[in-house]
Chain A
Amino acid sequence: GNSVTQMEGPVTLSEEAFLTINCTYTATGYPSLFWYVQYPGEGLQLLLKATKADDKGSNKGFEATYRKETTSFHLEKGSVQVSDSAVYFCALRLNDYKLSFGAGTTVTVRA
């Protein structure tokens, strides 16, 4: 079946550090890939997406590139801020109705 595996947390960083969260997927076909972010006590917000191989999604300084050859969609940000502290979820969707999520990675950025 379709599944997403992402880096286990928690991840603790200092402000302005480089962040990377690994995400790999298994899918029968060519899924669309997403990163969602969940701030404390809130629902999930779409952070970025990529719908085909080699697409790069970007938003708020975050980037992720759809790599079909390595079945990966790693999230990166060059300089994190305290406000980036959140839980990050990698997700995929094929041509059906279900969105499959990874387990989530908790990121804490310290001033």
Chain B
Amino acid sequence: SQTIHQWPATLVQPVGSPLSLECTVEGTSNPNLYWYRQAAGRGLQLLFYSVGIGQISSEVPQNLSASRPQDRQFILSSKKLLLSDSGFYLCAWSRTFEAFFGQGTRLTVV
């Protein structure tokens, strides 16, 4: 069966520090991969998606970036965090129509 791992579960970072969140998928190949952000009390915002290694599409301009160095690995990064980057970050994968989500990372920028 397929599983998705996302870490860390919680993270507190100072403003201006770098960020690296990692997501890996097991049990499938060539998945579509996604990063979403959920701000407090708000819905889900699609940040990036990828249909293959090295292929990244950005939905919202911001100081975040994403990379896919391997087929089942998706990384969300920032060189300098802003207070507004705080939120709940969710990684997801899909092959057909439905998507499967990781447990999320609670990021607090202080």
B9 to chain A, nearest CB (A): 9
Return chain A residues, CB-CB under 8 Å to B49: 97-98
- 1/0 per residue, CB under 8 A from A, across B43-72: the answer is 110100101000001010000000000000
Give Cα distance in the complex from A36 to B43, angstroms. Answer: 12
User: Is there contact, CB below 8 Å, between B98 and A44?
Assistant: no
Q: A43-B104, A44-B90, A49-B98 are in contact. Are A89 and B32 (CB under 8 A)?
A: no
A93 within 8 A of B: yes
User: Is there contact, CB below 8 Å, between B97 and A103?
Assistant: no
Number of B positions contacting A (CB below 8 A): 24
Return chain A residues, CB-CB under 8 Å to B36: 101
Contact of B32 among A45, A46, A97, A102 (CB under 8 A): A97
User: Is there contact, CB below 8 Å, between B43 and A89?
Assistant: yes
A22 within 8 A of B: no
User: Is there contact, CB below 8 Å, between A104 and B51?
Assistant: no
Contact of A43 among B42, B51, B59, B103 (CB under 8 A): B103
B35 within 8 A of A: no
User: Is there contact, CB below 8 Å, between A43 and B32?
Assistant: no
User: Is there contact, CB below 8 Å, between A43 and B101?
Assistant: yes
B34 within 8 A of A: yes
B92 to chain A, nearest CB (A): 8
Give Cα distance in the complex from A41 to B90, angstroms. Answer: 11
- A residues with a Cβ closer than 8 A to B are 32, 34, 36, 41-46, 49, 51, 89, 93, 97-104
Can you report 17 A-B residue pairs in the complex whose CB atoms are below 8 A from each other? Answer: A32-B97, A32-B98, A43-B102, A43-B103, A46-B99, A46-B100, A49-B97, A93-B97, A97-B49, A97-B51, A97-B57, A97-B94, A99-B46, A99-B99, A103-B42, A103-B43, A104-B43
